[in-house]
Amino acid sequence: MTAADPFVTSGRQAWLPRVLPTPLPPPLNPVPPIAIIETWIDTKHPEMQGGWVNMRRYGPAPDWDDPAAVFEFGDAVDHGTLVASVIGAPENGVGMQGVLPGTAVWLYGTTGRCSDIAAATRQAVSDGARVINFSGGFEAAGVCRTLHDSIGFAVGMGAVVVAAAGNGRPGQKWIQPGNDYHVLTVGALNAFDMPTAWSAQNNHLDIMAPGEGITAARLSFLDTDDGTPDGFSEVDGTSFSAPIVAAAAARVLADRPYLTADQVYRILVTSARDLGRRGWDRAYGYGALDIAAALATPTPRTDVLEPNEEFKWVNGLGGFPADPALLGRRSSVAFQATLDLVKDPVDIYRVSIPQGRAARITVTPISVGLDIGAYESWTTGRVRPGDLIAGSSRPGMGAETLRILGAPNGRPFYLFIASRGVHGQISGRYSLQITRTR
């Protein structure tokens, strides 16, 4: 039997008991591999042994004659080693242990360019990754559209995407993919369960995890902070909060592998330990990660047909088949769905009413304000002002009803349902019912 890792028994790894205050029950199924988008790892580090880290995609080696490039490469290898160790450093009697000791980590190396990170993301999805961790990002709005698209594709294929909220100004306005739709964005807590001075605070923040003084494995020659170059050091950053949450997402999926990405997201945020002001706020999101509570949280309803914020995810131009057209030859269709002002601001549905028929569309807010509109269908997915068939008469918390005739050519149209902030509510549910009237 392997002895407990010394940093756990000595108390040096103080962040781990805050995440795992009591031993978790064994998973009902194997924990799914966690993909990390990094450059490389230190393959010779004692914590990286045993085959639990698998290099699925190699990042480029530097020009070894260029000292600056070599140093930059070393820094990236160090970062990947730190992130991987937080997730899965094994119980091997050496150093530290991760949140899920020995769980499989798939590393996807990149050049650091937007297009290559997007390609690595799609490869992770193709390989079957159910959880993808980003401990980095781009800090300019819209700078990386291809990554935005690959994130939407990953979510649509069932992957939970976890990303660091970013370091720097607490009020940082942008980091991608942390600000993309459906991404679980993670901020950093200090030892007193307060946001660190540098953890980003904004409307995109979802959940918090320890991120200050995180003992993790690193390159020995960069281990200069604590006076003991043993390949372990205490580091700070939302980069190390995110993999803690990624591990939690994988552990939830181990018990319930049938969950959608949206359901895992909701389980983690609704089970979070509330901090700061009651409910969601810009400093704490929904609160601190609580893995035990997440495992005990009932399965929420799935949010149907996500992602559907953009035409390409709905009309078949984004890599998926086109969503099924609602109604068609049926007499009625009804369901509930969810909106969020930031992470899921719009739902777009294809609706088909047979030629010569008419239908009544009723959208009823349950806990979120709404705008609605129906638009002619265009192959390009671009809407022009003249394309509006019918729209909201009193947007907000009132029920809205549209009455629409089927198009002469029987072509589907698009129904837009957009969230509105009402009485401080940023997210909630609504019901949609479409009934053929003749």
The two three-digit tokens of residue 97, written as one number: 């242990």
pLDDT at 344 over 80: yes
Once rounded to an integer, what is the mean pLDDT over residues 49-53?
Answer: 96
Convert 79-111 to b/e letters by CB count within 10 Å (16 or more is b).
Answer: bbbbbbbbbbbbbbebbbbbbbbbbbbbbbbbe
CB 153 within 8 A of CB 318: yes
Q: How far apart are the two ends of the chain, measured CA to CA in Å?
A: 73
pLDDT at 266 over 80: yes
pLDDT at 380 over 60: no
Once rounded to an integer, what is the mean pLDDT over residues 375-397?
Answer: 69
Helix (H) or strand (E) segment spanning residue 81: helix 67-88
pLDDT at 378 over 60: no
User: Which comes out higher in pLDDT, residue 228 or 21?
Assistant: 21
Once rounded to an integer, what is the mean pLDDT over residues 113-121?
Answer: 94
What letter would DSSP give residue 312?
H
Predicted pLDDT of residue 425:
66
- Three-state secondary-structure class, residue 196: coil
Task: Considering only CA atoms, give the Rg of the chain.
Answer: 23
Q: Right CATH number for 311-436 from 3.40.50.1110, 3.20.20.10, 1.20.1090.10, 2.60.120.380?
A: 2.60.120.380
pLDDT at 296 over 90: yes
- Three-state secondary-structure class, residue 87: helix
* Residues in contact with 298: Cβ distance below 8 Å, sequence separation at least 6, in sequence order: none
Q: Right CATH number for 6-296 from 3.40.630.30, 3.40.50.2000, 3.20.20.140, 3.40.50.200?
A: 3.40.50.200
pLDDT at 212 over 70: yes
Predicted pLDDT of residue 319:
85
Once rounded to an integer, what is the mean pLDDT over residues 207-217?
Answer: 96
The C-alpha atoms of residue 405 and residue 33 are separated, in whole angstroms, by: 49
CB 135 within 8 A of CB 157: no
pTM for this predicted structure: 0.93
Predicted pLDDT of residue 379:
46
CB 246 within 8 A of CB 87: yes
Once rounded to an integer, what is the mean pLDDT over residues 283-291?
Answer: 96
Q: How far is CA 153 from CA 122, 177, 307, 319, 339, in A?
A: 8, 13, 8, 7, 19
Predicted pLDDT of residue 144:
85
Predicted pLDDT of residue 385:
60
pLDDT at 384 over 80: no
Once rounded to an integer, what is the mean pLDDT over residues 227-237?
Answer: 87
Looking at the chain, the whole-number percentage of residues with pLDDT higher than 90 is 63
Once rounded to an integer, what is the mean pLDDT over residues 391-407?
Answer: 82
pLDDT band at 321 (very low <50, low <70, confident <90, very high): confident
**Residues of each domain in the chain carrying CATH 3.40.50.200:** 6-296
**Residues of each domain in the chain carrying CATH 2.60.120.380:** 311-436
Once rounded to an integer, what is the mean pLDDT over residues 130-151?
Answer: 88
The C-alpha atoms of residue 302 and residue 359 are separated, in whole angstroms, by: 26
pLDDT band at 215 (very low <50, low <70, confident <90, very high): very high
Least confidently predicted of 104-113, 199-208, 338-347, 383-392: 383-392
pLDDT, averaged across the chain: 90
Neighbours of 209 (CB within 10 A): 29
Predicted pLDDT of residue 184:
98
Once rounded to an integer, what is the mean pLDDT over residues 31-60?
Answer: 95
Beta strand extents in 123-231 (DSSP E only): 131-134, 160-164, 184-189, 207-210, 214-217
Predicted pLDDT of residue 40:
92
Once rounded to an integer, what is the mean pLDDT over residues 148-173?
Answer: 90
Predicted pLDDT of residue 243:
98
Using CB atoms within 10 Å of the CB of residue 420, give its burial: 0 to 12 exposed, 13 to 18 middle, 19+ buried: middle
- Three-state secondary-structure class, residue 184: strand
pLDDT band at 1 (very low <50, low <70, confident <90, very high): very low
* Residues in contact with 194: Cβ distance below 8 Å, sequence separation at least 6, in sequence order: none
